[in-house]
Amino acid sequence: MADREHILRQIDKLTASHALHGSESLCKLLRYLAVHALDHPGTAVKEYQIATEVFGRPADFDPQVDSTTRVQAGRLRGKLAEYYSSEGSEDTTVVELPKGSYLLAFHHRTVSASRSHGSGANPVAYDDSGLRQTARNRLAVIVTLAVLLSAAVLVIAALWATRRAPDTTHASEIAAAPAAFQVFWKPFLASPEDPWLIFSNAAFTGRPETGLRYYNPARDSRDAIFDHYTGVGEVLAVHDLDQVFGLLHRQIRVKRGSLFSLDDAKNNDLIFVGSPSENLTLLEIPGAQEFVFQRVASGPRNGDLAIVNVHPQPDEQKLFLATPSKQPLTDDYALIVLMRGLNPSRSVMILAGTTTFGTQGAVEFVCRQNAVADLLLRLSLAATGEPKPFEAVLHVKVERGVPVDTQLVALRERTP
């Protein structure tokens, strides 16, 4: 029983970590697998069972058609590895989801063993002897930390004051980042200036305490604009992109769309997060050519925002439309665009869904190593080793306000 409680506490710690924070579907999957492993040790859970009991798939779920469970298990596997290589590097309990299995494994390691073997841990039988030793050492650790605290504050202040400006000497540091990230994000790493991340914030009128609605230029004064809000997908996007650029030993500068200027566009690498219906700056600069955001002009979806396929291939849709607004959102579409900036020596990326959840799915896609690697296999590379400009459409499956699966459905390389 003590082991069970300890493992469940470790699961709580994982779900509250930076690696899994905000990923409701992954946290739900992790808790489900943990309880199953504890209640049915040695018995693997079936993919069908996970799909229907965790992700709400119908009874006629077919794993050959719907890959949601496999995709989410792969994401969880990656998040666990990310956690134990960073904030969980000193944890004595390691939770692992082995490849090809849906049965969680729990391993014990001591702090000294984790330090001598790097970020990995050799699987051994679970044992709480290390926890008892940790308890005996806790008092000494607290005393030591108290002594170090004041010194740590001074060190942090000194590091901030002398923070390294980006330059060409960081190439060897970047070598530690995943190769797919190094290639895909290379257009945003060459400049000595960190890229700007411009997130959407729609123009509203009214007040939060009395009610907000979209600003209507035909009847509302510009003095009444309230532009302090953005979508949840954009918020999580900033976090995910910050994590990726951290791996590449670079930073991002963040600004909301209403404060962005064309002077910024001329002299910086830019990453736009959010559709042009709310990231209005996108309406002022050249954007996508093959896939464009437009409102439907007639028919039952009149007024809805769609991604229009300008030159559809025989097996492609003409319009990519999210679930109708009066129904629970289950499907969305998003764009990934890489192009040259107003200054051709600078790069621009657009990550935009027709809703905030599509935007979140697009950003998660370019922040996943395996997704980026697969995309690079379908793109041409320039002589500099970076991807040539392109446009891609993603189909984003949404469940209870969380993107659970993202698939590439159309791709074009941009002509010069």
Residue 334: pLDDT band with limits 50, 70, 90? very high
Q: Which two tokens stand for residue 399?
A: 């469940």
**What pLDDT score was predicted for residue 358?**
92
Q: Which positions ≥6 away from 66 have C-beta within 8 Å?
A: 51, 57
94 has pLDDT over 50: yes
Q: Closest Cα to residue 276, out of 200, 360, 362, 390?
A: 200
Across 122-280, where does the E strand assignment appear? 196-199, 204-207, 211-214, 225-226, 253-256, 270-273
- Above 80 in pLDDT, residue 230? no
* Distance from the first to the final alpha carbon of the chain: 65
Tell me the mean pLDDT in the region 313-339. Answer: 91
C-alpha to C-alpha distance for 416 and 404, rounded to whole angstroms: 35
Find all residues with CB under 8 Å of 216, minimum gap 6, and list them: 205
Burial class of 308 by CB neighbour count within 10 A (0 to 12, 13 to 18, 19+): middle
C-alpha count within 13 angstroms, C-beta hemisphere, residue 346: 18
pLDDT in tens, 201-223: 766 777 766 776 766 777 777 77
Q: What is the torsion angle, in degrees rounded to the nearest 10, for the CA atoms of residue 290, residue 291, residue 296 and residue 298?
A: 30
Mean pLDDT of 1-21: 84
- pLDDT of res. 24: 82
Q: Which residue has the higher pLDDT, 163 or 295?
A: 295
Residue in 112, 117, 161, 167 with CA at minimum distance from that of residue 137: 112
> 230 phi and psi, to 5 degrees?
-145, 175
CA distance 292 to 354: 11
- The bridge status of strand 225-226 relative to strand 319-321 is unpaired
Q: 36-73 pLDDT, tens per residue?
A: 988 888 888 899 999 899 888 888 888 777 788 888 88
Predicted local distance difference test score (pLDDT) of residue 266:
76
- Chain segment 140-179, per-residue pLDDT in tens: 444 444 444 444 444 434 444 444 444 444 444 444 678 8
Residue 167's pLDDT is: 43
**Residue positions counted in the chain:** 416
CB count, 10 Å around CB of 336? Answer: 22
The partner residues of 93 in beta bridges, in order of sequence, read: 108
Q: Which residue has the higher pLDDT, 147 or 107?
A: 107
Alpha-carbon gap, residue 195 to 193, rounded angstroms: 6
What pTM does this model have? Answer: 0.57
pLDDT exceeds cutoff 80 at 391: yes
Given this model, what pLDDT does residue 30 score?
93
Q: Which residues share a beta bridge with 399? A: 402
The mean pLDDT of the chain is: 79
The predicted pLDDT at position 159 comes to: 43
Report the alpha-carbon distance of residue 379 to residue 276 in Å, rounded. 25
Residue 244 has pLDDT above 60, yes or no: yes
Strands 331-340 and 390-399: antiparallel
By DSSP bridging, strand 196-199 and strand 270-273 are: parallel
Model confidence at 371: pLDDT above 50: yes
